Chains A and B, each alone.
Chain A
Amino acid sequence: MNIPIEYYLILSGFMFLVGVAGVLTRRNAIIVFMSIELMLNSANLSLVTFSSYMGNSTGQLFVFFVMTVAAAEAAVGLAIILAMFRNKLTLNIDDINILKW
């Protein structure tokens, strides 16, 4: 355990930034979805790092909660994406604007 905590935080921060870049630049709904998963994973990595360096396992418990919510989000999100694809025959999120007026 002689690796500084900053190394893990930089890794987690890099993953989060890559996820943000993916959400901002890619236009396919599934890629945006994968980028959100990347961001959730980076938050989990930070939580596990803090938990491990504090010697307290509550952080790991919260990672478990985040993973549960991520699983629910994946199921509902992909169902929405499939329903959207059936109706509009595209996944380009610039073309899916029926909630705008």
Chain B
Amino acid sequence: MNIYDIVFYLFAAITVLSAFFVVTTRNIVYSAYYLLFTFFGVAGIYVLLGADFIAMVQLIVYVGGILILILFGVMLTNKITSVEIKTGSVQVVPAAVGVALLAGILMASMVDTKWRSVETAMPSATTQGIGMLLIQQYAIVFELLGILLLIALIGAASMARK
């Protein structure tokens, strides 16, 4: 049990437990806060996998952007003092059957596949490689994503203001 195992189990436990609570807790505000811990745990796993740039982007975009948007959505659509903020769940049995079926498929395909892994040394910084790919091989995708973000910005603003 070296330090990598301990870090992995720590962040995996944070991720699994908070993901479970996001879906099961009755209060939407608590769900949003548990989602914060899920994103944080996934960022820790990214660091463990040697993806430093992606871990930072995860913290900045998800925790700093999307989660704040979701909290705004919760606060704008619910009254804190009313019972409306607590919501129940329905159709538990069919959903459980579907989820169990999907879990079986995922498990079978994972066990069935021969995973190939390259023995890598301690990973170095990934930013340069990603940057090179982004401006050479995937430059068109990068530009298209910029246009997509602009369209989403205009669409969201025009939808929300009337």
Contact = CB atoms under 8 A, between A and B. Distances in A.
A101 interface: no
Nearest to A5: B115
A80 B159 contact: yes
B160 interface: yes
B148 A31 contact: no
Given A65-B145, A81-B77, A35 B110 contact: no
Interface residues on A, range: 35 or more
Interface in A25-82: 25-28, 30-31, 33-35, 37-38, 41, 44-45, 48-49, 51-55, 57-58, 60-61, 63-65, 67-76, 78-82
Interface residues of B, number: 81
Contacts of B141: 65
B77 A67 contact: no
A34 B70 contact: yes
B49 A8 contact: yes
Interface of A: 1-3, 5-11, 13-22, 24-28, 30-31, 33-35, 37-38, 41, 44-45, 48-49, 51-55, 57-58, 60-61, 63-65, 67-76, 78-83, 85, 91-92, 94
